[in-house]
Structure 1
Amino acid sequence: GLLPQTLEVSILDVGVGTGILIEQVLPKNKSAHLFGVDISPEMVKKAKRKFKGKNNVSIALGSASKLPHKDNSFEFVTCVNSFHHHPDSIQSLEEMKRVLKPGGKVILSD
């Protein structure tokens, strides 16, 4: 797969929805710190409920065009099946780049 399975890394999923991608990564890499962000309060609520009690998963409400994370925070930023919903795709990409650590990777699939 594209995401590491054994490293202690931080991964941000932009447009996390109900957390399907995080759900797939979690059993394969228990040492990863997984973050999700979504603009929909309903999706955030569902994802938070799904990962309740998982100390290495954090879900936040926020926009891809103004991510609620610090610069240079993540080794990987993913955006799967949601990029077509971003009204300002260039700004979203700039934000993904901003929160990415040097040498990090953006994985975009739409």
Structure 2
Amino acid sequence: MTNQVFENEAPTHIAYLDRVAASASGRAYKDTMLAALDLQPGHTVVDLGCGPGTDLGALAQAVGPTGTVVGVDLDEEMVGRARERTAEVGQVEVRLGDLQELEFEDGSVDRARTDRVLQHVADPVRALEEARRVLRPGGRLVMGEPDWDSLAIDSVDAEVSRAYTRHVAEKVVRNGVIGRQLARLAVAAGFGVPTVLPVTSVFRELREADQIFGFERNTERAIEAGYLSASAGRQWLDGLASGPFLATVTLYVVVAEVALS
């Protein structure tokens, strides 16, 4: 099925995360999240699922030399890369750990964030409860998660586009509609939720979008899973390649707060 327009090989997980962070859409929602955190000098902030440390430097700059930044990730390779990237930043510590079993004292953290992490977590409710536990009264959690069911791809065959989106939301991502669920789940975990900010990314260039969505690879997976026929998938990809192209997807930035005692 290979078409030279599409990326043939999947990037490594670290390369993919770096790619998303460097994209215009990635910068837009990350800036929104950073502003929503309202970090102050001296704060202790935890990046839950910090990956390769993409955002730790910006957090450290915001809390200043008197603050503390702790990155937590379950993947040893991610932790190693994050430590390498922040080796010269004195107020940053990176730990190997599970979001569902955080090794922090109750009420010991001023701010926390999750960035495109809860979509992959086995028990996001447990992760939210743990974040609630470690945050102090008045503390804040800021989450950024996509709603993959919102992925809209223009095509002459709208039903194939819908099938592609259903496959991504139902099979590719563990918690494919977590974005729309965040506010409700946060309230259930004991947070107040003052703010929900939808951030919609618009892609007009196929190659840029393919860097994020991996159209050919995921079309092949959708065919194998029975969401598409091989002929429909091939025609759909050919149609995308012939242009013009448009795709959108919405990520939700949700602010959750712990009530003051």
Instruction: Give 1:6 shift.
Output: 4.2
C-alpha root-mean-square deviation of aligned residues, in Å? 1.4
Equivalent AA in structure 1 for residue 64 of structure 2: K
- Which residue pairs with 2:5 in the alignment? none
- Which residue pairs with 1:18 in the alignment? 52
Q: Structure 2: give runs of 5+ residues left out of the alignment.
A: 1-34, 146-261
Equivalent AA in structure 1 for residue 107 of structure 2: N
**What is the CA deviation profile of residues 41-97 of structure 1, one whole-angstrom value per residue up to 9, with x for unaligned ones?**
000000011111322101000001001211111110100111111100110001001
Once structures 1 and 2 are overlaid, which stretch shifts more, 3-12 or 76-85? Answer: 3-12
Distance 1:49 1:34, change over 3 A: same
Aligned length: 110
- TM-score, normalised on structure 1? 0.91
Inter-partner Cα distance in structure 2 for 1:21 and 1:107:
13
- Which residue pairs with 1:93 in the alignment? 128
Q: Secondary structure at the match of 2:70?
A: strand
Inter-partner Cα distance in structure 1 for 2:39 and 2:46:
15
Q: 1:60 aligns with which of 89, 95, 101?
A: 95
Inter-partner Cα distance in structure 1 for 2:63 and 2:132:
23
CA contact (8 A) 2:37 2:141 kept: no
Inter-partner Cα distance in structure 1 for 2:101 and 2:40:
30
Question: Is the aligned partner of 1:75 residue 2:114?
Answer: no
Equivalent AA in structure 1 for residue 81 of structure 2: K
- Which residue pairs with 2:73 in the alignment? 38
- Which residue pairs with 1:51 in the alignment? 86
- TM-score, normalised on structure 2? 0.40
Larger fraction in helix? 2
Q: Secondary structure at the match of 2:119?
A: helix
CA contact (8 A) 2:110 2:139 kept: yes
**What is the CA deviation profile of residues 7-53 of structure 1, one whole-angstrom value per residue up to 9, with x for unaligned ones?**
21000010000111212223344232101100000000000111113
Matched-pair identity in %: 26
The structure showing larger relative contact order (alpha-carbon pairs under 8 Å, at least 6 residues apart) is 1
CA contact (8 A) 2:71 2:95 kept: yes
Instruction: Give 1:5 shift.
Output: 5.0
Instruction: Give 1:4 shift.
Output: 3.3
Larger fraction in strand? 1
Q: Secondary structure at the match of 2:87?
A: coil
Instruction: Give 1:3 shift.
Output: 2.8
